[in-house]
Amino acid sequence: MFQYSDPLYEIERKSLSGEEISQEEIIYMYDEADLYQLGRIARNVTDRITGRYVSFVSNLILNYTNVCNVRCNFCAFYRTGSEDDAYTMTKEQVIDEIDRYYSRYGIRQLLIQGGVNPSLPLSYYTDMFNAIREKFPNLGIHGLSTSEISFISRKEKMTYAQVISKLRESGLQTIPGAGAEIFSADVRKELGRPLNSGEEWLKIMEEAHKLGIKTSATMMFGHVEESRHKADHLISLVNLQKKYNGFLSFTPWNFEPGNTKLQREGKVNYRAGGLDVLRNIAISRIVLNRHIPVVQSSWLTNGIQMGQMAILFGANDWGGTIYDEKVIPATGKSVGNLRKESIINNLKSIGMIPVERDNLYQVLKYY
């Protein structure tokens, strides 16, 4: 146990009383604090929010296109459109792909994302969403990134709110947190993102929240960022959440450098290790506290065992099942598939109670 003079004593007191954690305190947790004490504090916070219950969703990831004109330095998935393996799925192909898994695995959430494909009008998305909703009425569409929404807005000369409203009318239920990375303009420059895209992410999410549409939040770490950037990122999420309570969950995930421009240029040679993953999970839980009560384990980029450790360090949602995801494998990292039964067994083996949820985090079944 730490002494009263240890900054962690004050951080723990704040976390248990619901007080906000300062930027300086967050930086201290990243740079100096004992990892296992952070894990203990984070797990105590989670136990007060959801106890030993850990949720998961029967999910299907649909990467409808890999054509993208953003061309981020950290992405190995995108194609310019002229390559032999560039693709864009038709509405019929999307329906067929979902149909392969929907009934067989009880899919309740569809995470649908691709690239920023300049040839696709708004009608491509609304037609596709309408077709999905008609064929699979119980499937929650968790769709598009802020980058995709931003481009559609510019292409169609519509406001963010108008685009989001049209997407909702056609079946969109929630918006994922992709594109957040790190909000700092300096970091985004190194990542090959537009300098204002961090602010744009927050603006688009705020417009969605104003409309009553729930979204997720993310943070990508382990590249060119510093502790202060991560601290400011988390604080920005808390500040927006206090306005509309629109974020359903938060997922910190570590950058995979394989086959990316950042790796080719020698700026990032290796992925963040397991201890960094656990530190980011614990700090996220302590800072977000009850503001964003769900923190996902991000097992997809770290493996099942690290997913279990993340739960012990404060996460309370496993995320979802995986069937043939394409973005992470583009980096050269093998992902494979993960079915519901495996998630249940992995959670039970660490003393947790699995809870199957839907796209809106409503309980479907306790195991």
Residues belonging to the binding site for (3R)-3-methyl-D-ornithine are: 145, 298
Which residues on neighbouring strands pair with residue 172, listed in sequence order?
Answer: 141
Tokens 């002229």, residue? 82
Indicate the helix (H) or strand (E) that contains 219. Answer: strand 215-221
Which residue positions form the known binding site? 68, 72, 74-75, 145, 181, 298
327 token code pair: 């973005």
Question: What CA–CA distance (Å, rounded) separates 278 from 298?
Answer: 11
If we measure between CA atoms, which residue out of 105, 158, 160, 108 comes closest to residue 132?
108
Please state the separation of Cα 299 from the chain's center in Å.
Answer: 11
Question: What CA–CA distance (Å, rounded) separates 56 from 243?
Answer: 27
Pairing relationship of beta strands 109-112 and 140-143 according to DSSP bridges: parallel
If we measure between CA atoms, which residue out of 140, 105, 109 comes closest to residue 341?
105
Which residue positions form the known binding site for [4Fe-4S] cluster? 68, 72, 75
Question: What CA–CA distance (Å, rounded) separates 345 from 48?
Answer: 24
Residues 277, 254 contacting (CB under 8 angstroms): yes
Which residue positions form the known binding site for S-adenosyl-L-methionine? 74, 181
Q: Which amino acid is at 280?
A: N
